[in-house]
Amino acid sequence: MQQLVVQVYFDLDTALHTTGNLRRLGVDKALARDASGQWVLPATTVKGFLRERAEVLLRTWGHPVCTGPEPATMCDDQTLCLVCRVFGNPRHPSALRFQDGHPLDGFGEASFVRSGVAISRYRRAASPQRLFFLETTAPMPTRWWAECTGYFPDSGAAKMAAALVALAARGGWAIGGGKARGLGWIKEVKVKATLNGVEIPEQDLMPFWQAWKEGRDVAED
């Protein structure tokens, strides 16, 4: 088995919000935190961000991609689209295991609370009696780090997964909640992938990107 480790580094331009399970007085949606109280990018947020961007990019290039999150509209075990091969689905567990992301810089623990009003997209106006309060990180650039690990039967499958994760990571413009309100905007994303402890050079991933851009699957070559 081949061990793949992919590290994703997010440089954010704006404050970030990801909703956690903890409650805070006076806040409707508190930030996600780990057991020690440190802010985190939940693994589900990281995986969801990457999967959604992969789906959009591959569809743009003409690839058949299933529609989530309903199991009935996703691939079965016999025919898996490129996205399901890497990120899995309810019938096919993902080979990659995602971990919570953490801040890289010591930018303090003080959070900010923003008020907002729910907007009716149908009426294009504020909804009555829908004032809410949202907890965010400080309104300043921040850096975050997240990682996923998986085991694959051969190096080709591992490199395909690394290529799709790297492509998806670089194709997003914002992460977390409140993107339309200016939260979680991405300035730059860097990806580092290692196979059995050896870094995978970008030129090994480029054939996958080129084939996908041309509407082909590398497995067909």
Q: What is the pLDDT of residues 76-117, one digit of tens each?
A: 877 889 999 999 998 889 999 999 999 987 665 678 887 766
pLDDT tens digits, one per residue of 142-180: 999 999 999 999 999 999 999 999 999 999 999 998 888
Beta-ladder partners of 210: none
> What's the pLDDT at 221?
47
Contact (CB, 8 A) for 34 and 192: no
Gap between the Cα atoms of 106 and 79, Å rounded: 46
What stretch of H or E contains 120? strand 112-120
Q: How far is CA 48 from the centre of its chain?
A: 5
Least confident window among 70-74, 84-88, 188-192:
70-74
The proportion of the chain whose per-residue pLDDT surpasses 70, expressed as a percent, equals 89
What does the alpha-carbon distance between residue 217 and residue 215 come to, in Å, rounded to a whole number? Answer: 7
pTM listed for this prediction: 0.87
Among residues 139, 134, 128, the alpha carbon closest in space to that of 115 is found at 134
Percent of the chain scoring above 90 in pLDDT = 57
* Furthest-apart CA atoms within the chain: distance in Å: 58
Find the domain containing 74 and state its range: 2-220
Is the pLDDT at 127 greater than 80? The verdict is no
Q: How many domains does the chain have?
A: 1
Nearest residue to 152 via CA among 218, 69, 215, 95: 95
The reported pLDDT for the residue numbered 139 is 87
State mean pLDDT over 44-48.
95
Q: Is the pLDDT of residue 29 over 90?
A: no
Long-range pairs for 87-90: beta carbons < 8 A, 24 or more residues apart: 87/47, 87/50, 87/51, 87/54
